[in-house]
Structure formats: structure tokens, C-alpha cells
Amino acid sequence: MKNLSVYVHIPFCKSKCHYCDFRSFENCGTDDIEEYMGDLIKEMDFYRDLGKTYVIDTIFIGGGTPSMVSSEAIAKIMERLRKLFFFTEDPEISIEGNPDTLTYDKMDHYHKLGINRLSMGLQSDNRKLLKTLGRIHSPEDFLESVENARRIGFDNINGDLMFGLPGQSLKTFQHTLQWIAKLDIPHISAYGLIINEETELARRIDQRIIPEPDEDLEVDMYDHLREFLPGKGYQHYEISNFAKPGFQCRHNRTYWENREYLGLGLGAHSSMGEKRFFNAEDFKSYHQLIQAGEKPIAGVEVLSTKERLQESLMLGLRLTEGIDMNYLESLHGITVEHSLLMKIQEFKVQGLLKNDKGRLRLSSSGLYLSNSVFREIIG
């Protein structure tokens, strides 16, 4: 039996954050939510045959805000997955939530369902910045959620942070890091803000209601982050992720190690063997396909061996431990093409990539410019 990671998408949010361009929707009615959750269960049934060859090793219930829906609806998902699949002995089962909807009772129910990892959005401990981002919780709400989660028995907790925010100073960010480090949660993800077109944040910056973030300052914040969290015992193991020993996110490592995963729900992506496929991105098509007895797949791509190697390289470089090129070649059964080796060499000369103990990895400056490096690799 092979290991499988499963992602389940719950696309509902209490209100839309100003920077968000994820597939998430606010103000959805109870009937719409119920219909979607019912469709999700039906979608799982289409994959029952996979249960003959795969065991589930990780599950990530993400969104959106999964804590928006009832814990009974989450229970149905877990029950169906357990009915269709065997699980590994010690699966990692994560759920995302926001402090405004993560009640004690919901978390308690999750824990009883075998969910053993909580991922929560803090973004900042600064009220003004939370308002700028359109977040509807306070830092105290986050603190209360962490305390409740611990009382219930969760020891694997992630907190999401953002930096490079409009009006955020280095000092404010330093304060946020000190604030979260005191909580001693074992995992922190910290993302530089990306201003996506057609978001409320982009509109406000455009209309000069809020200032445009300063790119140089964002680099200083990233530098500080990379120095501060390791000083508090967190290992910087991926571009944006930091973990105490034993708490790296196994589910996300599946993506970075280019292993197989099944995505369920609106717009979810899957990677099985050489096939990459994704689901319909609008509720109507997703619902109609499922009701018609079909998988709600909107697109399929079959990658060549060369494309899979490029993909593995690009994803593996996200990990700070880098990637063993010999292993990569043996994994895919081909040698790295001359043109790709030339690109890698060029990045080494530019100081963006380096060889370290037989592994290729991003250098410090490469971490800032990772997206340009990745674009060239798959280009």
C-alpha cells in the first residue's frame, strides 16, 4: 500500500479579508453550505477504489475557514474517509480555523474525531493592522483559542503571520514575533503580503486610503524573521515555515517532496502519478457534475518525465535542506537536461543557488528571489 495525503477544501468564510483572493466566499446561506458539504461526501465516494492501493497518511481540511461549518459536518467528512480508506498508524490530521469561529466545543469535537493539528490565522498582534487586513478577530481571541486548544489536548498548533503590510514598521513586526514566540506554539508560518488585483486591499492602496508597502522594509522583516525564530528554537525548514523539532507539517511536505495527494472540494488540485488534475472552481459546475454522477474535474494535465523532474526540483528547492540531484535523477529515471544544468549553473554564479553537502539549495539571497528561480526552472 502507498501513502496518500488528502486535502479537503471548505470554501466558506465569515467575512472576506481585504487581501484574500483564495476560493472563499462570505455570506453563504445554511442551505448552500449543507448542499456543498453533501457534495463533498459524494465526491469522496468516487475515489473509493483508491482505498485498495493507498492508505491515508495526512489530511488537511483547509479553506476558506473550515471552523465556519458545524463540527458535525466535519465529523461526516472524517467518518466517510475512515470508511473508504485505511489510515497509517500515526496520521497527521490538520484543520484550519480562525479565532472568531473556533469555539471550545468545536475544537473538543475535532479532537475526539482524531484531528490532531490546528492551524490558525493570527497575521498580526497589532489591532490597526488586523483592521487594515479586514481580519475580524483580536489578538486576545487568538490567545484564547490557543489556550483552549491546549486544554483540550492539542499540542500541534500552527499560527499564520504576515509581514510587509501597509503601515507595518519593522518594530511592529518584531513585536508580533515576540508576542507569538511567547505562546511557544510549535509551528509558525510567515508569509510576505502579496497584493492581488481585484482585492479590497489593492483598491484601497490604489485610492491612497492606505500606503503601499515598502519592499525594502519587507526584506528587512524577512531577515529578522529568519534570525529571530531560529533563536527561539524554531527550525527554518521551508521558505515561509518554521517548526520546533518534530513539528514540521507532514502534509505540506507531501507537496514539497512532490508525493501524491488527492484534493477534494471546489477548485482542489490533485497529483497522482504523472497526472495533475483540478476540480471545477464554481459551485454550480461542481454541484452539477457531482449530481450527474461524475467526478467534478475541470482540467487534467499529464506531465512528461522531464516536466515531473522540473516540478520536483522546483518544489524541493522550497525546503531549506534543498534537494539531492542524484536522488532526483534516480527517482525519475532520467538525467537532468543540459539546458536545465546550465540554468542551475547560472543561478549558482549569481549566488542564488548553492551546493551544500551534496544537495542543491537556495542561498540566502535565493530565498528572496525564489519565485524568479522557480519560473526559470519550469520555463
Residues 1-60 that bind ligand SF4 (CB under 6 A): 13, 16-17, 20, 22, 24
Q: What angle do CA 252, 256, 257 make, to 5 degrees?
A: 110
Distance CA 256, CA 55 (A): 19
Closest approach, Cβ 130 to ligand SF4, in A, equals 11
Q: Output 100 or 311, the one with its CB closest to ligand SF4.
A: 100
Grid coordinates representing 331 are: 527517482
Rounded least distance, CB 75 to ligand SF4, Å: 22
Site string for ligand SF4, 265-284 (x = CB under 6 A): --------------------
**Residue among 217, 214, 238, 216 at smallest CA distance from 226:** 238
Grid coordinates representing 40?
463533498
Q: Is 57 or 96 the residue whose CB approaches ligand SF4 more closely? A: 96
DSSP, collapsed to helix, strand or coil, labels residue 163 as strand
Q: Closer to ligand SF4 by CB, 64 or 265: give it.
A: 64
Q: How open is the CA angle 59-238-324, to the nearest 5 degrees?
A: 100
The residue count for binding ligand SF4 (CB under 6 A) is 10
The least distance separating ligand SF4 from the CB of residue 366, rounded to whole angstroms, comes to 28
Distance of closest approach, residue 15 Cβ to ligand SF4, in angstroms: 7
Q: Is 64 in the site for ligand SF4 (CB under 6 A)?
A: yes
Residue 178 host element (H or E): helix 170-183
| DSSP result, 181-238 | HHHT-SEEEEEE----TTSHHHHHHHTTSSPPPPHHHHHHHHHHHHHHHHHTT-EEEE
- 110 vs 347 by CB, closer to ligand SF4: 110
Q: Name the minimum Å distance from CB 62 to ligand SF4.
A: 9
Asked if 65 interacts with ligand SF4 (CB under 6 A), we say yes
Considering beta carbons, is residue 66 or 91 the nearer one to ligand SF4?
66
The secondary structure of residue 69, as a DSSP letter, is S
For residue 31, the tally of other CB atoms under 10 A from its CB is: 8
Q: Report the residue number, 20 or 317, with the smaller CB distance to ligand SF4.
A: 20
Kindly tell me which residue out of 58, 94, 98, 126 binds ligand SF4, with binding defined by CB under 6 A.
98
| Residue (64 or 159) nearer to ligand SF4, CB | 64
For the chain, state the CA radius of gyration.
Answer: 21
Binding residues (CB under 6 A) for ligand SF4: these are: 13, 16-17, 20, 22, 24, 63-65, 98
